[in-house]
A = this chain, B = another copy of it.
Amino acid sequence: MADQKKMVEAITSMDVDFAKWYTDVIKKAELIDYTSVKGCMVFRPYGYAIWENMQKDLDARFKKTGHENVYMPLLIPESLLQKEKDHVQGFAPEVAWVTYGGEEKLAERLCIRPTSETLFCEHYAKVINSYRDLPKLYNQWCSVMRWEKTTRPFLRNSEFLWQEGHTMHETAEEAKEETLRMLGIYKAFFEEALAIPVIDGQKTEKEKFAGAEATYTVEAMMHNGVALQAGTSHYFGDGFARSFDITFTGRDNTLQYPHQTSWGVSTRMIGGVIMVHGDDNGLVLPPRIAPIQVAIIPVAMHKEGVLEAAEGLKERLSEKFRVKLDATDNSPGWKFAEYEMRGVPLRLEIGPKDIANNQCVLVRRDTREKTFTPLDQLEETIQNLLDQIHDNLYARALENLNARMFEARTHEEFLDIAANKSGFIKAMWCGDSACEDQIKDETGGVKSRCIPFTEEKLSDTCVCCGRPAKHMLVWGRQY
């Protein structure tokens, strides 16, 4: 297996240099390419296909819960961005500004959307008049631009792809329900489609979204103990509605402000998938979003009937699965390594002996376990194996999450864990953002991830200042 060895050697071991491993994998698996604009990347076919599968699954979940897709403009006039004070303060430092249209200098600068609250609000002000117009449950799929100083493929790009839901409701209660409903959909998607367990909870005042009353988050744990904010859902109250003068005539005939939410997940999820499931041989993709679920590799392809049998299987299996047949003249060994590196959940080998026995071999990416399957049970076996792979990936990720969940009851203990372990730290907190600042300074970057929905009472006092504790926080270093 010289080929396989060579392939693996091209990827730095994750234990040696996790950051290098990550970029090696992304490059070798042909997910992205860099471009001449920093932080703006090419999503190559294999990388984009992962995104398409994520989109398809999420979009169905959004539509099932009554959401409709729209498309808002790319550009936001500076005056529109400035309408909500907290919001503009949060985003103005990191937007790209258009100042010329053709040869002409623009009278007003336009920024490329970093997020679209202001655009949705401008539109909602025009189309919401009565309680009969509510709720508005809109979502859009688009790219956004944030002028980041430090970039990392998928995890922190200047331009990235995402969906942003923006909804308007008659009452605060309905809007709060929506905020949590969408966080729940994200959690379910992470577990059911990406095989990634998440911690769900509320962001602190310090960490919440610019302009929001409350921000909720799902936080995932990467293989190396670094946290990833994987999706967020915001409750805005009627703050934007007041700034944008969005009103409606209520059931009692009075003029009222609607209550608003927004929620989003992005291509950063692809980074999460890589860092949660990948190994030293490359990508490991969860079956439900893998662009190729089964890679068919003919063995002894020159022998009579092999290629025909492989082609027959490809056609047959394509009815139910995403299948690729590799009939190139590379060696089977090279192909085994190649599809392993690309994280294809199942490899199907078929050669003369298999054909004679009316069977084939299935090899799992996650465990490398081999299964000989009679051809007449193939679809059922594949479906079962894909489900088992999903469950196993989830179980492994949960094991990593649990193994990297630490508890600190004292300041000293907290600093010791932060210095010597990688992962989440549960600790009690007084509710004061000064303690978040202090912890971040002392640890060189550990920040509050969220107040988890499932809190525990580890002690009575704040792990930082010793004052009475109000909440348990989950802390961690983040991408």
Contact = CB atoms under 8 A, between A and B. Distances in A.
Given A99-B99, A122-B35, A159-B74, A68 B40 contact: no
Residue among A37, A44, A147 with max Cβ neighbours from chain B (10 Å): A37
Nearest to A46: B68
Contacts of A96: 75, 98, 100-102, 110
A95 B101 CA distance: 6
Contact of A73 (B37, B93, B101, B102): B37
Interface residues of A, number: 52
A159 B75 contact: yes
A48 interface: yes
Given A49-B68, A98-B96, A127-B33, A73 B42 contact: yes
A97 B95 contact: no
Interface string A281-295: 000000000000000
Contacts of A43: 70-72
Contacts of A97: 98-101
B74 A145 contact: yes
13 contacts: A33-B123, A35-B72, A35-B122, A36-B80, A45-B69, A48-B68, A48-B69, A49-B68, A71-B161, A74-B159, A75-B96, A96-B110, A102-B147
Given A37-B110, A40-B75, A93-B103, 18 more contacts: A35-B73, A36-B122, A40-B73, A42-B70, A42-B73, A44-B70, A44-B127, A45-B70, A48-B68, A48-B69, A49-B68, A73-B159, A74-B74, A74-B143, A74-B145, A94-B102, A98-B98, A142-B143
